[in-house]
Amino acid sequence: MKRLIIFLISIFISITIQAETDCTKVSNIPQQKCESLVKFYNSTGGENWSDSPANNWNITDVPCSWNGVMCGVGGKVISIIRSNKNLIGEIPSELINLNGLQTLDLQKNQLTGSIPIELGNLTNLTSLRLYDNQLAGIIPKTLGNLINLEELNISNNQLVDTIPKTFGNLVNLKQLYLNDNLLFDTIPVILGDMINLKVLSLQNNQLTGKIPNSLGFLTNLQFLFLSDNQLSGNIPIELAELNNLIKLSLHHNKLTGMIPIELGNLNNLTTLYLNNNFLIGHNPLIFNELINLTGLDLACNQLRISDVEIITILDKFTPGWTDGWSNMQGRSHFCPPIPIEHRLFIPSDFNTLLVSEIDTLSKDDIDNVTDKDKFHKLPSRDVARFLVNLDNKEIKPDDVAELIPTGWEFNKTTGKLKAPLGEKITLTRLAPPNTLPTKLKLPKNIPNLQVGFGLGGTENSIMDGINQSLKNADLDNFIPSQDSNGIFKIKGTGKNNGVNFSFMPNNNDITQVDSSKISSLIRGKGGFYKLTTQDDIQIQFVPMPQDPVELYEMAEEVVLGEDGDILMKLASETRREGDNIVGIFNSNIEQNDEEKSAGIYIPESKDDTKFGLQTGKVVYNDGSSQIIWPTVLSPSIFLELGHKFEGVEKVEFNSNGTFYVLYQGLELILVPQFKVQTNNITDETFTPTILPNEGGGITYSVENESVTTTTRSNSMEIWLFDMLIEPAPDDWCLTDDDTGEVFCDFDNII
């Protein structure tokens, strides 16, 4: 046995101390080139490469047999391919000695330092791939000497400074990837000289200035990616000369002006992303000839293209666009504010804008409303949104008298407004709090209950009306308030001491009503509460956590949705691996009757209740707690998708996170679960879906648009929600004959 151990040790030692390559004894390539390869091996941690020592590097005296090394006639090293092999360190300048090199592929490693300027002397290179590393510093101008280069990919590094103008010399280049770096300044005009280019990818940098007209000379170009920069000015008409273009991505810049109608000639185009700019105009004929278009996003601009116009054009040759267009038009809830210098408020644009995203409107904004007739025809919500967000210190009632539509009431003395009965309206936006944790997001559109429904928020405050409504409902022991985060609390006093509730007013469900014909407090569709004030304003309230900041302190990320859906990425010490939670809170704030410390408590398995509805709990530092049920992200999107299914007569979102569905006369309850799957994808054409799953239920897939963590510009975070399908008991969900609203009595069933 002892001899066996000694024998094994001797073998191990012999392997460990195996001689390194002796370049003086190498015969198949010159000694200098051998030494350059050994230098490369040592500089990049060759011993720790993922395929060492089996790759033969620096072990044998035949370098041309080393994995990833290819040699040509006369011992020339023509190729080094070491992609995704755990290379750590810097690229040595000694590679200059490999003057026959045609391919250098070091992608997907951990290389640091700068790109050696000496690589510019390797003029036989046709392919240089250094992407997905940690390279820093500037891009060497000497790379412009590589006149035989056909592919240059140095994306996804930390390269800074400008794009070298010497790149104009690379007339044989077919693919140029500089994306996902820290490059700034303008795009060099001379890039238009690279006439053989098929791919130009510059997205996710800090490039500024205009898009050069010279890019129109790149007639072989098939893919142009300039998104996620700070490019400004108009879209050059010259881009319409790129007849071979397949994908054009200019989103997330500062582009202005109209979309050139000439882009409609790009009939090979399959993808057109122009969203998140400041584009204006009304020219749907642009898209008439785009017969191969499968991906289009125009959101977060100031365009005037109606749903009917775009659907009429696109449905001629792309069936199904009707379903996807609603989320592409105009400015959505997640669009960033429009800077004052780019704001454009004219009547036919106004319904694509959310005034709540910007500061108080000025008299200049009134002056922009030049066509009063078109303004009068806007939906009441948009009219209200404009009027209640005006600066009432600068603007007087007489200044807006001509903007008041027929059927509205307007007090020219006080500025008080009243829309026609039954119309949806919008209240003045609550100013965001001065400080808020980075990964805590509140809805952008929270109504300010301390002001009234009038010009710039004048007249009696909504809160005064709510106080009176509670008294009318014999609830005068309850005191309402709204904090700086928008949370609306009702605190019980006297005989109701300790009975507390937490809500948020829903600015998407505020209606002008006749308060003399409606109860002050009702429980409407889905079980959500509605309060009606003496000023004839009815507001829906959605349940919310009583303290979003304290909730955030228990988690890594919290996002409050307008529909009551609360996204939580639980702290690592609390969550199970991979857990992400979307829940809806019970508005009732209870005293915690269990011996649980402050935290978020989520069950791991399905509950044995009537519908399998899971129940979690959030316990706060003061000992109070709230029940939490699972729900889905963006319930409003789920409702839109659900209504489009054949056979579905009605879909309602319930205040306990479930959904009521009337399907071919059958009443069903869709029950979400706390367990959520997430995927990161790069398919920018993704649209939300509802599909059957293997468990007999359905799976709802939707993008987490409010993600607060930094992701690459071409990556989307998709959340997948599995939902059970359960039959509803007979006569349990009641439908209001007048409104058609459905209320399901969960309290007496579960």
Between CA 603 and CA 703 the distance in angstroms is: 25
Those residues with Cβ within 8 angstroms of residue 380's Cβ, 6 or more apart along the chain or in another chain: 405, 419, 420, 423, 424, 425, 512
- Structure confidence at residue 571 (pLDDT): 66
Average pLDDT over residues 454-460: 86
- Structure confidence at residue 357 (pLDDT): 42
- Structure confidence at residue 456 (pLDDT): 87
Between CA 488 and CA 501 the distance in angstroms is: 8
More reliable by pLDDT, 712 or 466: 466
Average pLDDT over residues 272-290: 76
- Structure confidence at residue 241 (pLDDT): 92
Mean pLDDT of the chain: 84
Confidence band of 579 (pLDDT split at 50, 70, 90): confident
Confidence band of 591 (pLDDT split at 50, 70, 90): confident
- Percent of the chain having pLDDT more than 70? 82
Average pLDDT over residues 119-129: 96
Maximum average pLDDT range among 23-27, 301-305, 337-341, 592-596: 23-27
Confidence band of 231 (pLDDT split at 50, 70, 90): very high
Confidence band of 613 (pLDDT split at 50, 70, 90): confident
Whether the predicted pLDDT of 6 surpasses 60: no
Quote the tokens at residue 163.
């794009």
Average pLDDT over residues 536-556: 93
Residue 667 vs residues 26, 381, 589: alpha-carbon distances, Å: 81, 32, 31
Whether the predicted pLDDT of 87 surpasses 70: yes
More reliable by pLDDT, 15 or 59: 59
Residue 393 burial by Cβ neighbours in a 10 Å radius (0-12, 13-18, 19+)? exposed
Average pLDDT over residues 479-506: 94
Maximum average pLDDT range among 284-288, 304-308, 588-592, 706-710: 588-592
Between CA 472 and CA 180 the distance in angstroms is: 60
Instruction: Report the candidate in 455, 462, 460 with the shortest Cα–Cα distance to residue 532.
Output: 462
- Residue 424 DSSP code: B
Strands, E assignment, 324-420: 409-410, 417-418
- Please write down the long-range contacts of 704-709, taking CB distance under 8 Å and 24 or more positions apart: 704/567, 704/633, 704/678, 705/334, 706/334, 706/441, 706/559, 706/567, 708/438, 708/439, 708/441, 708/557, 708/559, 709/439, 709/557
- Structure confidence at residue 104 (pLDDT): 97
Other Cβ atoms closer than 10 A to 433: 14
Concatenating the DSSP letter of every residue in 385-411 gives HHHHTB-TTT--HHHHGGGPPTT-EE-
Tell me the domain boundaries of the chain: 635-748
Average pLDDT over residues 594-601: 85
Reduced to 3 states, what is the DSSP secondary structure of residue 466?
A: helix
- β-pair partners for 247: 223, 271
Residues 128-163 have pLDDT tens digits of: 999 999 999 999 999 999 999 999 999 999 999 999
Confidence band of 259 (pLDDT split at 50, 70, 90): confident
- Least confident stretch, 118-132, 535-549, 675-689: 675-689
Residues 313-322 have pLDDT tens digits of: 555 544 444 3
Residues 719-746 have pLDDT tens digits of: 999 999 988 877 667 776 666 676 676 6
- Structure confidence at residue 684 (pLDDT): 57
206 CB-side CA count, 13 A = 10
- Structure confidence at residue 74 (pLDDT): 82
Whether the predicted pLDDT of 332 surpasses 70: no
- Structure confidence at residue 210 (pLDDT): 94
CB 360 within 8 A of CB 389: yes
Reduced to 3 states, what is the DSSP secondary structure of residue 152?
A: strand
Confidence band of 433 (pLDDT split at 50, 70, 90): confident
More reliable by pLDDT, 265 or 593: 265
- Structure confidence at residue 354 (pLDDT): 40
Confidence band of 577 (pLDDT split at 50, 70, 90): very low
Whether the predicted pLDDT of 434 surpasses 70: yes
Cα angle 225-226-230, degrees, rounded to a multiple of 5:
160
- Percent of the chain having pLDDT more than 90? 54
Confidence band of 334 (pLDDT split at 50, 70, 90): low
Residues 648-692 have pLDDT tens digits of: 999 999 999 999 999 988 889 999 998 888 887 765 567 889 998
Reduced to 3 states, what is the DSSP secondary structure of residue 709?
A: coil
Whether the predicted pLDDT of 441 surpasses 70: yes
Q: Edge to edge, what strands does the sheet with 158-161 contain?
A: 136-138, 158-161, 182-185, 206-210, 230-233, 254-255
The label of the residue with tokens 């949806």 reads: 424
- Least confident stretch, 119-133, 293-307, 604-618: 293-307
Whether the predicted pLDDT of 289 surpasses 80: no
